[in-house]
Amino acid sequence: MPYSLNAEENRLFRGSYARGTAILLFAVLVLGTAAQALPKVTALSGSVFVLKAGTKAWQAAGEGAGLNDGDQVRTAAGSSAAIVFDDGSRISLEANGSFTLQEATAGGTSLKLSIGSLRAWVDKALSRRFEVRTPTAVCSVRGTEFSVDVNVQGHTSIQMFSGMLGVADQRGNETVIRDQQSLRVTDQGFAPGQGAQGQTGRDRLKDQAKREVGLEMSKEAVQAAAAIESMNAVYKEGKAIIDVGGNRVRIEEYIVRPAADQFKLVVLNERAQRFDYFYYKGTFNTALPDDLSIALRQLPGCIGAQCDYFLKGFETGRSNTQDSMLETASGGHQVDVNNDGESSDAVYAAFDPATNLFTALNVPNPGGTGNDKFYQTLYNYNTLTFNGVPHNGWSSKSGADITNMGSGQIDTTKVRLDVNDPASLVSPTTLTTVRESPFCDPPDCTYNEAGVEHSVVYSSNGDWTVWEKYDSYVISDEGRVAGVGDFAGAYSGTDFKQKLLHWNYEMIVTASEFGGRKIDLAVEPKIFIQSGLIP
């Protein structure tokens, strides 16, 4: 059957349901690649030559000549050339210089400067990952102007003009330089006593703290942190699409391993007039394998026996750099949800990686015992806040496990509500109510639009003073909302993933604390399929 989001899956996505994890719903809504114009050689002065990838003869470069991955460009004495990219970014290669275009895709640009001087202008409104590699350094940038010079010994000199630039040497050292700062990198790494020239010790400590993407950061700080953090990415993807509102949005996504038992997903969205981002950092019960996908495939749950790898806790944040949504959970442990005494969480079918198909589970007594086992993660502690205001959550009373002994059923006498009345004891299934209000679209506050991959989930407290709304779409690269028929025939995991590679997912979040603003995030699927988040 074709896949269609329902209200409960959206509840799982935002984490308000006890066994949900935000990343899993990101992982089932995904998409394809966008066409892109080739970088062009322009503003030629003197003698400029191009060596096309796979050939051995240099040819004179013509005005407007397109460059493909692997092509090399060099300039003779007294010569120079500019290269313009499809997002408006450009570089200038000075005399006696040579570089190789390693990558120029919707996800980013990577150049290798072998010798000479290069100056770059990366468009701040439409920027993406932009790297200049040299024999001794890697410069990662978003939205800035800088120059790089490589001498005959391969040593690198970097000058910042505006913005921020992440720089790493070949010995694993990393730093950030800002406006009017410079840096020299030799085969021994950063020059003695340099680091980021002109910075105080306090500034360097601040840089260290901001090398990781988190909340309460400016656009520039997020981009600078992502430039450094993504250098160690296990998976990295990106593309440009049109969102549901008709705006061009550049998507950058990467997954890193901050610690042996952790993984972190980061998604950056940049539009002409706004910047939104998302991160999800999960901590597992044990050290992760070298092949991260082995563990990530187990996040939805496991048939028959407890998962080898499951989350002990997670932190996930979304922001437009002004508003934020933060969810945290801890105390994660495995529960057989088909035999825990609850009917609402019973799982009747689950994906089996061994067969690449969804497998039906025998559940003759939903909420009872004797059913096929299916293990998912239950968290003892959970909080969901918008601009720091609690909306939902639960915590363990006196540090106790919130499940009844043996059954795994939630014990409401052990749960403390984090909303409105922190002392009240309620079941997590009744933490929010869903009802019609002036903030909703017709016909209801929570609905799936018939025949179209568009759904709305709305939750509020009793008097609607605290509310949140999730507007979700599956869209094409051109911004067309998918119809249910677009997923027809996706009967196996492979079929479904192939369908997803032609679509994107966009979720618009609004809340009572946002003052009419929104957090608008689009994601694409390739990184989720590669990493195992879509099993």
CA gyration radius, the chain: 25
Does the pLDDT at position 423 exceed 90? Answer: no
Instruction: In the chain, list all ranges with CATH 2.60.120.1440.
Output: 40-209
CA distance 514 to 319: 11
Q: Are the C-beta atoms of 329 and 382 separated by less than 8 Å? A: yes
To the question of pTM greater than 0.75 for the whole model, the response is no
**Residues linked to residue 459 through DSSP beta bridges, in sequence order:** 468
Query: Which residue did the predictor score with more confidence, 164 or 69?
Result: 69
**Residues linked to residue 113 through DSSP beta bridges, in sequence order:** 99
How far is C-alpha 471 from the chain's CA centre? Answer: 19
Does the pLDDT at position 123 exceed 70? Answer: no
DSSP 365-420: STTSSSSPPEEEEE-SEEEEEETTEEEEEEEEGGG--SBPTTT--B-GGGEEE-SS
Pick the CATH number of 40-209 from 1.10.3720.10, 1.10.10.10, 2.160.20.60, 2.60.120.1440: 2.60.120.1440
Q: For the beta carbon of residue 201, count every other beta carbon within 10 angstroms.
A: 8
pLDDT for the residue 458: 82
Segment 361-417, tens digit of pLDDT: 898 988 788 899 999 988 877 888 898 888 777 655 444 444 443 333 444 444 444
Tokens of 110: 């990577």
Of 104-108, 254-258, 414-418, the poorest mean pLDDT is in 414-418
Mean pLDDT of the chain: 76
Query: Which residue did the predictor score with more confidence, 472 or 398?
Result: 472
Element (H, E) at 24: helix 22-26
Element (H, E) at 202: helix 201-209
| pLDDT tier for residue 211 given thresholds of 50, 70 and 90 | low
Residue range 242-262: mean pLDDT, rounded: 92
Does the pLDDT at position 45 exceed 80? Answer: yes
Does the pLDDT at position 459 exceed 90? Answer: no
Q: For the beta carbon of residue 87, count every other beta carbon within 10 angstroms.
A: 21
Pairing of strands 80-84, 90-93: antiparallel
Does the pLDDT at position 14 exceed 70? Answer: no
Residue range 140-164: mean pLDDT, rounded: 79
CA distance 94 to 114: 13
Q: Are the C-beta atoms of 276 and 521 separated by less than 8 Å? A: yes
